[in-house]
Chain A
Amino acid sequence: MAGLLALVVSSFWSLDLQWAQFFSAEAAASMGRFVGEFFPPDLSPAFLRKVGVGMAETLAMSLLGTLLAVVGGLALALPASKGQQLLRAPTRAVLNALRSIPELVWAALLLISAGLGPFAGTVALALHTTGVLGRLFAESIENAPAGPAFALRAQGAGTLQVFFYATLPQVLPQVMSYTLYRWENNIRAAAVLGVVGAGGLGQLLAFHMGLFHMAKTATILAAMLLLVALVDSLSYAWRRGLTR
């Protein structure tokens, strides 16, 4: 308990945060001016079309990244689950490495090979999400009841056949649920990956914010919130459909 308090106090003290600067009257005035520049947001048709394209690109990035991650995650989940003695540890290590590096860092690394644009963002999302989903799928496979798999193995089916016809149908509802959860997360990540150059709304945002086009920035922020709300409600509806 005391250690916790010490950690909190030393964090605030060592960071030298500029509270005075933030809370002074002139700071409040400049913040007020800054917020005022956001309204009215830029709603011209030409710009709205660009934002629409950005929204479609971001949505496509998140969808494709998540789909690729499901395939990759399923492929890596089987070796990472309890049945495989030899491959389990290295596959788990690979999944942990993929998982612990945030999407933004992956995107920044991949920009060097893949160039600017949404391709780097898609692959970055796919890599990170493969790590997350692979681990979640492996745990689902381990927790699935062993009856059907055992019955097929007793009849002489190979490992892959046992996986496709016994294990996969059992864990499919959980796989869908985890996939929808990661899609909700990935749409938020896709929206900001563009800040390092990976395309979509984030690239538009960083571009216009850098030029201090605050009205356009307000439109892009509203588009981001709209996209997140859209994906959240689609995911919710799909979930309701699945569990009916």
Chain B
Amino acid sequence: MNAANPTNPTNPALTPPADRDPAWWPRVFWCSAALVLLWPLMVATEFKPWVLLEASSLRVSGRFIGSFFPPALDAEFLTLVARDTWRTVAIATAGITLAWVIAVPLTLLSTRVLSISALSGRMATLPFVARQAVRWLLIVLRSVPELVWALIFVRVVGLGPTSGVLAIALTYGGMLGKVYAEILESGEPLATQTLLRNGSGRMQAFFYALLPGSSAELVSYTVYRWECAIRSSVVLGFVGAGGLGQQLDNAMKMFNGGEVATLLLVFMALVALADRVSALLRKGLA
């Protein structure tokens, strides 16, 4: 009798399905949590978007953006931009080369695959501590933002590309060292272990067993970091390391919108070009 009565259903098969979203409760909870978290964050960062829309602010921004057109295209400025573009690329290339010089010995010292004591199963204490120490060094090199390194070096060697090159070398040396070690460890260890067990030296094992297998990935990552270094070197120009960044900083301080527009366009073209070259190199060398 109850099975056929829709107003008093006791048979679950005849109960109409609930009309609400089954994931309703977690969604509402997380959205509310985000909103509750949002308020102190907005206070702490002085987040007042209406400031952007105030009349005085709009006037200044409008004038600045308006001065972007036409972009500055006179020959003298373009020669300057071309020279600074080359300087940016040169700073990035020199920085990555030095980073590579720093990273290679640190990688060889820190990678577990070349450990002779680990062949018997568990690494001995002294080699383990030594390898951890090298890893900590790489972490410190990597964690200090390159802008901070550049600020410090500008105080020591003065303005100019040297501080930019050194800042990139130290930070990217840390990054390259860590990822090289990870790439080496993620490969196939059998060939290396066989060579080490049969008495070959560590460098021989590295060159004949470890390197051939991982060289493609190593090269690919290095080229990717070179492309990142070009972007970094523009940022470093803001603190005096020369190149496009310094020109951009100068142009912005003088509110010269035309020059800023040209420089931004050149920068975006440079990044796109480096991206293309990087993809070609990775396909060709790997």
Most chain B CB inside 10 Å of its own CB: which residue of A10, A11, A188: A11
Q: Which residues of B contact A64 (CB under 8 A)?
A: 38, 41-42, 45, 47
Shortest distance in angstroms between A161's beta carbon and chain B's nearest beta carbon?
A: 11
Asked if residues B249 and A108 are in contact (CB atoms below 8 Å), the reply is: yes
Most chain B CB inside 10 Å of its own CB: which residue of A18, A109, A113, A118: A113
The answer, yes or no, to whether A100 is at the interface (CB within 8 Å) is yes
| With known contacts A60-B41, A119-B45, A109–B252 Cβ distance under 8 A | yes
Asked if residues B145 and A191 are in contact (CB atoms below 8 Å), the reply is: yes
- Interface segment among A134-142, A145-153, A221-229: the answer is A221-229
| With known contacts A22-B157, A108-B249, A122-B47, A192–B145 Cβ distance under 8 A | yes
Asked if residues B145 and A8 are in contact (CB atoms below 8 Å), the reply is: no
Question: A15, A30, A113, A225: which contacts B161 (Cβ < 8 A)?
Answer: A15
Asked if residues B157 and A21 are in contact (CB atoms below 8 Å), the reply is: yes
> Looking across the interface, which residue of chain B has its beta carbon closest to that of A103?
B235
The distance in angstroms between the C-alpha atoms of A67 and B39, with both chains bound, is 13
Count of interface residues, chain B, beta-carbon cutoff 8 Å: 58
Asked if residues B46 and A117 are in contact (CB atoms below 8 Å), the reply is: yes
Asked if residues A118 and B157 are in contact (CB atoms below 8 Å), the reply is: no
Question: What number of residue pairs across chains A and B have CB atoms under 8 A from each other?
Answer: 145
> Looking across the interface, which residue of chain A has its beta carbon closest to that of B147?
A192
> Looking across the interface, which residue of chain B has its beta carbon closest to that of A220?
B148
Question: B61, B90, B148: which contacts A113 (Cβ < 8 A)?
Answer: B61
The distance in angstroms between the C-alpha atoms of A108 and B94, with both chains bound, is 27
Interface bits A35-68 vs B (CB < 8 Å: 1, else 0): 0000000000000000000001100110110010
Shortest distance in angstroms between A91's beta carbon and chain B's nearest beta carbon?
A: 17
Asked if residues A18 and B93 are in contact (CB atoms below 8 Å), the reply is: no
The answer, yes or no, to whether B200 is at the interface (CB within 8 Å) is no
Question: B45, B52, B161, B264: which contacts A57 (Cβ < 8 A)?
Answer: B45
| With known contacts A15-B161, A102-B231, A113–B57 Cβ distance under 8 A | yes
The distance in angstroms between the C-alpha atoms of A118 and B140, with both chains bound, is 26
Q: Which residues of B contact A56 (CB under 8 A)?
A: 44
The distance in angstroms between the C-alpha atoms of A121 and B157, with both chains bound, is 29
Interface bits A82-95 vs B (CB < 8 Å: 1, else 0): 00000000000000
> Looking across the interface, which residue of chain B has its beta carbon closest to that of A193?
B147
Chain B residues 151-199 with CB under 8 Å of chain A are: 151-152, 155-158, 160-162, 165
The answer, yes or no, to whether A101 is at the interface (CB within 8 Å) is yes
The answer, yes or no, to whether B51 is at the interface (CB within 8 Å) is yes
Question: B41, B48, B93: which contacts A11 (Cβ < 8 A)?
Answer: B93
Q: Which residues of A contact B51 (CB under 8 A)?
A: 114-115, 119
Q: Which residues of A contact B272 (CB under 8 A)?
A: 100
The answer, yes or no, to whether B138 is at the interface (CB within 8 Å) is no
The answer, yes or no, to whether A80 is at the interface (CB within 8 Å) is no
| With known contacts A102-B234, A105-B235, A205–B148 Cβ distance under 8 A | yes
| With known contacts A30-B156, A119-B45, A119-B48, A101–B264 Cβ distance under 8 A | yes
Q: Which residues of A contact B165 (CB under 8 A)?
A: 15, 17
Asked if residues A60 and B45 are in contact (CB atoms below 8 Å), the reply is: yes
| With known contacts A108-B238, A112-B60, A14–B90 Cβ distance under 8 A | yes
Asked if residues B155 and A105 are in contact (CB atoms below 8 Å), the reply is: no
| With known contacts A101-B267, A224-B145, A7–B93 Cβ distance under 8 A | yes
Other A-B pairs beyond A60-B45, A195-B239, 19, CB < 8 Å: A12-B97, A14-B86, A22-B162, A27-B157, A60-B41, A64-B38, A67-B41, A101-B264, A102-B235, A108-B238, A108-B249, A109-B252, A113-B64, A114-B51, A119-B46, A196-B238, A221-B144, A225-B144, A229-B143
A residues at B contact (CB < 8 Å): 7-8, 10-12, 14-18, 21-22, 27, 30-31, 34, 56-57, 60-61, 63-64, 67, 97, 100-102, 104-105, 108-109, 112-115, 117-119, 121-122, 165, 169, 188-189, 191-192, 195-196, 199, 205-206, 209, 212, 221, 224-225, 228-229
Cβ contacts A to B, 22 pairs, < 8 Å: A12-B97, A15-B162, A17-B94, A21-B157, A22-B162, A27-B157, A34-B156, A64-B41, A100-B268, A102-B231, A105-B267, A108-B238, A109-B252, A113-B52, A119-B45, A119-B47, A119-B51, A189-B145, A195-B238, A221-B144, A221-B148, A228-B143
Report, nearest first, the 5 A-B pairs whose CB atoms are least far apart.
A60-B44, A11-B90, A11-B93, A113-B61, A192-B147
